[in-house]
Chain A
Amino acid sequence: SQKIEQNSEALNIQEGKTATLTCNYTNYSPAYLQWYRQDPGRGPVFLLLIRENEKEKRKERLKVTFDTTLKQSLFHITASQPADSATYLCALDLSSGGYNKLIFGAGTRLAVHP
């Protein structure tokens, strides 16, 4: 079955540095991969979607890469701020495998220290 792995340990970085979060998956390649932000006690909020034929996608200080050979996506936050502290979830679409659903990783908690 499809499996998604995100670093379960929290990532602690200094304000102003670039945070890099990793999402690895097994088995077949999804058509899309998404990243969400989740604050404690709240629902996830959509950030970015990248398609399998796109190597990179940017939105303000956020950048996502998608390497279908490595079966990996990297999520970067440049010039990080304490307000970026949250849990970040990656999710991949299984529609190309005949399943009409999205599966989520367990998330990586990011803490940005002043």
Chain B
Amino acid sequence: NAGVTQTPKFQVLKTGQSMTLQCAQDMNHEYMSWYRQDPGMGLRLIHYSVGAGITDQGEVPNGYNVSRSTTEDFPLRLLSAAPSQTSVYFCASSLLSQVTEAFFGQGTRLTVV
């Protein structure tokens, strides 16, 4: 049982490049979400999904795209990377959205130069 797996762990991008951060969970959780963590800002919600085929925006969605074609996978796409997207990204999943504990991936440290 791997839990929540994020790849890659580290990534450096040039401004304007695109990339996809992968997130997979093997706990059959319906709810999945993406956060970014910046110094002094805490965890801020980017996008979330309450089940396969359903996604919605969080607090800071601009510049990011998501899809949820399966229960297991919830990739986060950066369409055209900007230096402001330099951050640590965490994927999380939970059985029943806000009333059950969230399980986090190990994080992806992204630097955009």
Real complex partners, A and B?
Answer: no
